[in-house]
Structure 1
């Protein structure tokens, strides 16, 4: 994968285009909230390499139930927690994993994406990017909480998000403003976490090519 095509470069290009369009006070509020979240230690408490991945069973947009332990019977699983269809950084990330899906499948792995959004919004994500892997609804962040990823969106950001046209309670079907920090795991067939990436900075994500290399090394 060339430098120009890395997910990191795509995320940076989006950020460089977006930030100049936003008032400086808004940028500073967003940056402070991200720093505060990082300083909270949430990533330190998230699931780490060597841990046993908590099993779960969630629904895809059609109502089909998908269970992690059942998937692991057929090979390792790449588990991706994203904030929601409304997040442009998540969209870039999910699309990047879809582009590498044939390589993941060739390595015997399955990719699964999880967000707290209601099934209809998960369906929007799936259709928009023509995803060929399951997109599951973790309503209430029950599974993300088991993985140590859940935080409540800072109060300073809530009116800003509304100003951007992002209604998180409507997307998630509750009033909590709870979200997962973006995270990617590789879980082997024994249920052990072999790769773990979580970041309080939602503009940074695991590089799919690096995740693929981890899968190929199993």
Structure 2
């Protein structure tokens, strides 16, 4: 009877641990085309993310300061992301004159953000979503093949759960609401800076 009680108790404990682990596991869409991103009119989730110095930044407070051009990119290792940033720099001054701030978010850790900042000579803010929780809440995250996981872990201080964000651009008002979005599962296709600038002007 005593042995049976110990066995039942052990099985109950195993079930509790298994349940807790299941709750901690995030299941991502298997393809970039399977994501369900937030829509125009919905609000950006309230997250706190580290900047390139490791300082905690409350996204909600940051968005409340100014209308925002919010960019999600794959990482500093991605040539298409670097080209997008270079293209954005051509119209950055005009974007700022319109009263917008630019915030770019990727799964890279702060050290890799600094490398991206230096390489591209960026002047706008970069934030780290190394654990991909914000990207998942935005509906942008999808699972990557096993062969790519280690590279993402190396760039995220081992925090990346094996996922990437579909590259996306959001125009967000000071209430944190999405006014415009460009999201393309084809990571090679990015919105041009000139078109983005024209869109910002049209929203003013």
Report the TM-score range of the alignment, normalised by the length of the smaller protein. 0.7 to 0.9
SS at match of 2:134: helix
Kept after mapping to 2: 8 A contact 1:56/1:67: yes
Whole-angstrom distance in 2 between the partners of 1:202 and 1:64: 29
Matched, 1:176 2:161: yes
Q: Report the count of equivalent residues.
A: 173
Residue 199 (structure 1) aligns with: 184
Residue 65 (structure 2) aligns with: 74
Residue 37 (structure 1) aligns with: 31
1:71-113 deviation digits (Å, cap 9, x = unpaired): 3333210110001111000111112222221111100000011
- Cα pair distance change 1:178/1:55, threshold 3 Å: same
**Deviant stretches of 4+, over 6 Å:** none
Q: What pairs up with 1:125-204 in 2 under 5 angstroms?
A: 125-155=116-146, 158=147, 167-172=151-156, 173-174=158-159, 176-204=161-189
Q: What pairs up with 1:3-18 in 2 under 5 angstroms?
A: none
Task: After TM superposition, give the deviation of residue 148 of structure 1 in Å.
Answer: 0.3
Whole-angstrom distance in 1 between the partners of 2:184 and 2:141: 12
Residue 110 (structure 1) aligns with: 101
Task: After TM superposition, give the deviation of residue 56 of structure 1 in Å.
Answer: 2.3
TM-score norm. by structure 2 comes to: 0.78
RMSD: 2.0
Bigger CA drift: 88-97 or 63-72? 63-72
Residue 210 (structure 1) aligns with: 195
- Cα pair distance change 1:213/1:115, threshold 3 Å: same
SS at match of 2:171: strand
TM-score norm. by structure 1 comes to: 0.73
SS at match of 2:132: helix
Larger of the two Rg values belongs to structure? 2
Structure 2: runs of 5 or more not aligned: 1-29
Residue 123 (structure 1) aligns with: 114
SS at match of 2:65: coil
